[in-house]
Amino acid sequence: MNRRAKLFLVLATIVLLSLVLRARERGKTRNQQNFDTNIREARIAFEDFTATRYTAGQITQVARAKSAYLLEPNMLELFGDVSIRSLRGNGKNEHWEQTYCETATAYFRSSNLSQMLTSSAMDHVDLRGFVKFEAGNVSLETDYAVYNPATGILHSEAAVMVRGKGHHFKGDGGFSFDVRKENLNVAGPVRGGGQVEIP
């Protein structure tokens, strides 16, 4: 075998070995599970999501969405035609409040998914995209709002449209609505008029 043939054979062997090693390393990285702690990754996904809360054998809250994702350690994300119905008051003053939006993200006070599902309290809920809140004859419409279950306050700094029987006005500075006391504060400038009555 001449010198050129030997050199060609050695170079071909080196190239072949490097290709085999590169393919082997690529296969290893493909099969490795890489978890970045800074990226929240969905652990459980639901289609046509419905969650129901019962209190003393009675339905008091129903949440629905086209899809939902549970994310470590403390998030539930709802997507597509989100609706949340909550029963408020008691006896003759009992009424349903309804919230609609495109997406909602609930944050829980938990350090892992199992704690979130079993015993964790909800910290707050972010509502986004065509947010509409209805209580009695009052309807609030905005692009973004946050609900805090501990205080019972729904608030936003985005512009809000308030509609209902005998009233129709817009507040450019947002609003704060105390769900428990049924107090509504709209930040100005405010345009429109009428009398707001909440049952």
pLDDT single digits (tens) 41-79: 667 888 999 988 888 888 888 999 999 998 878 889 999
Q: From first to last of the 199 residues of the chain, give the pLDDT tens digit.
A: 677 777 667 677 777 777 767 777 766 555 444 444 444 566 788 899 998 888 888 888 899 999 999 887 888 999 999 999 988 877 777 888 999 999 999 999 888 777 777 777 889 999 999 999 998 778 999 999 999 989 989 999 999 999 888 778 889 999 999 888 888 888 878 888 665 544 4
- Rounded Cα distance, 105 and 43, in Å: 15
Task: Quickly list DSSP for 149-197.
Answer: TTTTEEEESS-EEEEETTEEEEETT-EEEETTTTEEEE-SSEEEEE---
- Write the Ramachandran bin of 53: left for phi over 0, alpha for psi from -120 to 50, otherwise beta: beta
Determine the pLDDT at residue 160: 94
Strand pairing class (42-55; 58-71): antiparallel
Determine the pLDDT at residue 193: 67
Q: Is 18 within 8 Å of 10 (Cβ atoms)?
A: no
List all residues 6 or more positions away from 153 whose beta carbon is below 8 Å from its beta carbon.
147, 176, 177, 178, 179
Determine the pLDDT at residue 118: 76
In order of their start, the domains of the chain are: 42-192 (2.60.450.10)
The answer to whether the pTM exceeds 0.85 is no
- Rounded Cα distance, 16 and 14, in Å: 5
